[in-house]
Amino acid sequence: MRRVANPLIPLRIFRSRNVSGANVIQALSVAGMFGMFFLGSLYLQRVLGYDALEIGLAFLPVTIVMGTLSIRYSDRLVMRFGARRTLLPGLALIVIGLGLFTQAPVDGGYARHVLPPMILFGFGAGLSFPALMTLAMSGATRDDAGLASGLVNTSAQVGGALGLAILATLSAGRSENLLADGEAAASALTSGYHLAFAIGAGLVLAAIVVAVTVLQPEGKAQAEVADEPQPVAAQPAYSEAA
pLDDT for 226 equals 60
pLDDT for 104 equals 94
pLDDT for 216 equals 81
Residue at 231 is within a domain = no
Q: CATH no. for residue 20?
A: 1.20.1250.20
The torsion angles phi and psi of 229, rounded to 5 degrees, stand at -65, 140
User: What count of residues does the chain have?
Assistant: 242
- Specify the pTM: 0.86
Residue at 179 is within a domain = yes
If one counts the domains in the chain, the total is: 1
H helix or E strand, kind and range, residue 239: strand 238-240
Enumerate the β-bridge partners of residue 3: 239
Residue at 122 is within a domain = yes
Report, in this order, helix, strand and coil percent for the chain, each rounded to 5: 80, 0, 20
Residue at 157 is within a domain = yes
Residue at 67 is within a domain = yes
pLDDT by residue, tens only, the chain of 242 residues: 356 666 667 777 777 888 889 999 999 999 998 888 899 999 999 999 999 999 999 999 999 999 999 888 998 999 999 899 999 999 999 999 999 999 999 999 999 999 999 999 999 999 999 999 888 888 777 777 788 888 888 999 999 999 999 999 999 999 999 999 999 999 999 999 999 999 999 999 999 999 999 988 777 766 666 655 555 544 444 444 43
H helix or E strand, kind and range, residue 2: strand 2-4
Q: Which domain does 91 fall in, by range?
A: 15-216
Residue at 241 is within a domain = no
Residue at 233 is within a domain = no
pLDDT for 107 equals 93
Taking the C-alpha atoms of residue 15 and residue 203, their distance in angstroms, rounded to an integer, is 24
Residue at 10 is within a domain = no
The torsion angles phi and psi of 162, rounded to 5 degrees, stand at -65, -45
